[in-house]
Amino acid sequence: MLNVYFSLRVVRRLQAEPEAVLLAEFLGYLHGRGHARLTIQQYVRTAELFLRWLRRRHLSLNTVEETVVRRFVCRRRCSHQTAYAALRHLLRHLRSEGRVSARASTTRPVAERVVNDYDAHLAQVCGLAAATRLYRRRYAREFMLFVFGSKRIEWRRLRAEQVQNFVAQFGGNGRFAAAQVAAVSVRSFLRWLQYLGRVDARLVEAVPHFRQWRFATLPTVMSEVQWCTFLKSFDRSRPSGRRDYAMALCMVTLGLRVGEVAGLRLDDLDLAAGTVRLRPGKVRRERLLPLTACVRQALVAYIRGGRPRTDDPCLFVRHRIPVGAAVTRELIRGVMRRAYAVVPGCEGWTGTHVLRHTAATRLRNAGADLKRVADILGHRTLDTTAIYTKVDLPQLAEVALPWPGTQEAR
């Protein structure tokens, strides 16, 4: 298969390498995944140079790991991103063939057992959503690594200063939100340890509290011009563009969360009735939402003229490697960030919740009451939805009192 992707001269050079068989197998692995021609050529060339580098340093192939890859990439003048991607695939291929030992877990078995027990408590007792449990587990791992490192985990050694220092490191450069999330996560973890009798209640009290005033700020939303420019940024002449446009409409019109968009399945749509069913997620209840005409048209255009053939039941799937697999939240966020970049005033935005805020604001401006907005967004209480009364400028103008002295000036 080498002659399919390379000239005769390059094929002869590759076949003269001591690892010629390995390079040919690696090319077959990339071909089977469906990578583009240029990508395969770049990855095989990087693998060739990496194997030569190993020989010159008398490093055995079966001892290769991520640290060796980093040493090689740091000495290369080529694109680090391309080199990392190529060698990640090479390691994955070698591990699947049993030529390289499986990647060792960065978390020790004892710490992982603690995290698994904590996660079971969050799911079965607290009833937290999967997305919330994901970052709670992450902070629990980081906290144990910060406090104990490679030493034995002994809860009696835990001190209040260590708890405070761990949270404080997330507040660097004024990152208030990151420190707040870390504090909430560590407090939850310590409360569970206190429940088990492993730590004292004073450690829970040592976690810093961040004062947060409800309704102190306005939700960030798109203006009408920004909204139109944002939707026009998607190239609907391409299949992936039709998918991205449909995902964006689901968020900016229906107010769906990024996880809800990623979790949509084909059987959740009833195009004849014009509805979409949202499975129980963060609020633990199912919702049935009406599809607006523009959302319905975008979904039909994507399903009939853009969605790859796949057995995956998810509605939105990947158009690149691995083709046909369900999209991830990270992929959706990346798509929206690229769309923000071409909208004046939105270039620095990174998250997707602004689209949900925009959907709610547009509903309010169209005359929907708070109860209807709460039902569409899936809020459990109207208190959560009340923030959108602050951006309903026409109604605020009706109840606003005249500025003191206005009548006298007239």
Question: Residue ranges of the chain with pLDDT lower than 70?
Answer: 34, 76-79, 101-108, 171-175, 212-218, 281-284, 380-410
Helical residues (DSSP H) of 149-214, grouped into ranges: 160-168, 176-195, 201-205
Beta partners for residue 317, in sequence order: 326
Of the candidates 137, 362, 364, 379, the residue annotated as catalytic is: 379
Of the candidates 257, 307, 318, 364, the residue annotated as catalytic is: 257
Residue 379 to residue 385: CA distance in whole angstroms: 7
The enclosing domain of 53 has a CATH number of 1.10.150.130
Please calculate the CA angle 191-260-171 and round it to the nearest 5 degrees. Answer: 45
Domain boundary among 96, 127, 155: 96
Of the candidates 333, 353, 372, 390, the residue annotated as catalytic is: 353
Residue 353 annotated among the catalytic residues of the structure: yes
Residue 179 to residue 375: CA distance in whole angstroms: 31
- Contact partners, residue 123, CB within 8 Å, separation at least 6: 133
**pLDDT of amino acid 364:** 81
- Positive or negative CA dihedral for 265, 270, 276, 279? negative
Domain boundary among 96, 121, 137: 96
Residue 356 annotated among the catalytic residues of the structure: yes
**pLDDT of amino acid 406:** 55
Of the candidates 93, 121, 356, 357, the residue annotated as catalytic is: 356
**pLDDT of amino acid 106:** 47
Residue 243 to residue 302: CA distance in whole angstroms: 6
- Tell whether 157 and 287 lie within a shared domain: no
- Tell whether 121 and 191 lie within a shared domain: yes
Of the candidates 31, 95, 198, 282, the residue annotated as catalytic is: 282
Burial of 149 (0-12, 13-18, 19+ CB in 10 A): exposed
- Tell whether 242 and 330 lie within a shared domain: yes
Q: In the 8-state DSSP scheme, what is residue 314?
A: B
Please give the residue range of the domain that contains residue 132.
109-205
**pLDDT of amino acid 77:** 62
Tokens matching residue 226: 């920004």
Residue 103 to residue 91: CA distance in whole angstroms: 9
61-116: pLDDT as tens digits: 877 877 788 888 877 665 677 888 899 899 888 888 887 766 544 456 888 899 99
Q: 89 lies in a domain?
A: yes
Neighbours of 24 (CB within 10 A): 17
Q: 410 lies in a domain?
A: no
Beta partners for residue 288, in sequence order: 277
- Tell whether 314 and 176 lie within a shared domain: no
Q: Which amino acid is at 34?
A: G
36-45: pLDDT as tens digits: 788 889 999 9
Residue 186 to residue 179: CA distance in whole angstroms: 10
Tokens matching residue 83: 């080199």
Residue 388 annotated among the catalytic residues of the structure: yes
**pLDDT of amino acid 214:** 60
